[in-house]
Amino acid sequence: MEDQALEFCLRLARAQAAVVRRLDAALGGLFGLSFSDFMLLHHLSRAPGGRLRRVDLADRQGLTASGVTRSLLPLEKIGVVARRSDERDARVGYAVLTPAGHDMLDNAIPVAQEVCRELLRNAPPEQLEAMSAILGSLV
């Protein structure tokens, strides 16, 4: 008999891959963003002052600090993210969402919402709430 926890995790991984594929296609086609890029912008938009230390951003993304740095470089090149030093401690650096980044995110959010609604169209709202709670407890 299959272990329920293992089966859940296997299905979760498969579902995650499907979600990323769909969001990558939609966001990439319209905005040139991957879903990972979208998540970085989203995390920055929700952070106090629209900025996060790279180590904090890495934690929220589930990446290493160097992985976040590699992910931020193309976003910096297109002007949606910038680097800023801390006013009190020049050793501390932040990733900051620029006004262009806010605009791009504002335009991308409705697309991401629509893709997610479509993916979850058959899920009853009470089940989504329960699953969201379970997933929140994993991190």
Model confidence over 35-92: pLDDT tens digits?
A: 999 999 999 999 988 899 988 999 999 888 889 989 999 999 999 999 888 777 767 7
Does residue 57 sit within a domain?
A: yes
**Closest residue by Cα to residue 80 from 53, 54, 60, 98:** 98
- Give me the domain span that covers residue 104: 4-120
3-state helix, strand, coil in the chain (%, to 5): 70, 10, 20
The model's pTM: 0.88
Contact 45, 97 (CB under 8 A): yes
Give the tokens for residue 8. Answer: 């859940």
The total number of structural domains in the chain stands at 1
Contact 112, 38 (CB under 8 A): yes
CATH number of the domain residue 106 falls in: 1.10.10.10
Does residue 126 sit within a domain?
A: no
Range with the lowest mean pLDDT among 82-91, 96-105, 106-115? 82-91
Does residue 75 sit within a domain?
A: yes
